[in-house]
Chains A and B, each alone.
Chain A
Amino acid sequence: MNKTTHFGFKDVATDDKQSLVRGVFDSVASKYDLMNDVLSFGAHRLWKRYTIASSNVKAGDKVLDIAGGTGDLAIEFRKKVGDAGQVVLSDINAAMLDEGRKNLINNGIFGVEFVQLNAQQIPFADNTFDCVSIAFGLRNVTDKDQALKEMHRILKPGGCLLILEFSKTDSEFLKKFYDFYSFSVMPKLGGMIADDEESYQYLAESIRKHPDQETLKSMVLDAGFGFCEYHNLSGGIVALHKGIKV
């Protein structure tokens, strides 16, 4: 019997999820930043700014940004680590990496390396990075536990993992508004702006299937991290999990 996993609210064969996710991001890559600004009312920039501030990254550090897409985090990490450091911008999707490359050049940022990789099999040696980040990417990974183990493996002892991801809000009011917005407004905006209603329907569904804050914290600790804590942002619509490898 074939193993299955979720793709939004649908059950699909585990082996098929990766290519389905790739299809979504191939489709939205060129409008990704614009859509993020529109759908989050610009808040994604604040969430990412908080993530960078929480990273404790300093000059000379090595940073890997997984599912880094259009390079928002990589740009800021590059400024922090300076010429003595190293930033690798990675994504499983070539179209997203291309957008990232263009975005970095447009921002005058050079010296960032680009690697197309699968978070479940990261092609770097053990204990390589001071910081690994993944922003709005983990929910698209098929085997999240395996990906977290890989992130733990490539971090140096004392290294920091940052997971910025949509999460669960406890506020009943926010929940109702967010459900209406996610399922009734977001896909329509996706259809109008990116000409792809279906991908934004997947986005809304995949957020609901993602583990809540406490479950993800347990997963991070189970992957081998010595410490993990999370901070809710915008009432828990988004959460930043921070793991420390000891």
Chain B
Amino acid sequence: MQHFVLEQALNYLIDQGNADLSALNGKTLYFALEDLPINVNFVCTNDRIFVTTDTSAGADVDIKLKSSVFLALFQGEDLTELLRQDKIVIHGDVKTAQLLVDLLQQIDIDFEEVLSKYTGDIVAHQIGKLAKSFKASDNPLEALKDELTTLLIAPTKSKLFKNKDA
């Protein structure tokens, strides 16, 4: 189910962000997130990305990274720098990996704006604020788990209520 969500999200972002996928057409990228159960092939074809768990066919490039590094790529982090810091492992055609990074960085989308269509402005803003604080963390997933736990056990201590405490 994770790859279904990933496929929907990527294609939605490419569509809404007016990103150009043509340079990646015909390429297959094996993509593994080390901290999440996601090992998939990105099949870039016909101006869209299919995310498939069928990894039996060979890929042009293998990319392994953590989810926080994946999010960093969206925010314009330099691939070469991440490679130098061993935060991302690439086997195969590095040019294809760079094309994917270029694509992710082309996506210019205001997540709060998109979210506000479904949740309203206030909730979208609060979630955006929360997301920014997680992004600043070294381990966003752990930070998210901690925050959810706080929210369930002691909601007034949650970051969502921080301003109200002050």
Contact = CB atoms under 8 A, between A and B. Distances in A.
A164 B51 CA distance: 18
A229 B43 contact: no
B15 A58 contact: yes
Interface string A223-246: 000111101000000000010101
A157 B46 contact: yes
B45 interface: yes
A159 B50 CA distance: 10
A227 B43 CA distance: 9
Contacts of B48: 56, 58, 158
A160 interface: yes
A244 B91 CA distance: 24
B25 A227 contact: no
A242 B43 CA distance: 13
Contact of B54 (A54, A156, A229): A229
A159 B7 CA distance: 15
Could you say which interface size class chain A belongs to? 10 to 19
Overall SS of chain B's interface? mixed
A158 B45 contact: yes
Interface string B35-63: 00000010101111010111001000000
A231 B4 contact: yes
B8 interface: yes
A87 to B, nearest CB: 17
A244 B15 contact: no
Contacts of B57: 226-227, 246
Contact of A244 (B25, B52, B53): B52
Contacts of B25: 158
Interface in A181-209: none
A227 B11 contact: no
A56 B43 contact: no
A130 interface: yes
A160 B54 contact: no
A80 B53 CA distance: 25
A227 B54 contact: yes
Interface string B1-24: 100100110010001000000000
B146 to A, nearest CB: 32
A160 B4 contact: no
B43 A244 contact: yes
Given A53-B8, A56-B7, A158-B25, A228 B46 contact: no
Interface of B: 1, 4, 7-8, 11, 15, 25-26, 28, 41, 43, 45-48, 50, 52-54, 57
12 contacts: A53-B4, A54-B4, A56-B7, A130-B46, A157-B46, A227-B41, A227-B50, A227-B54, A244-B43, A244-B45, A246-B43, A246-B57
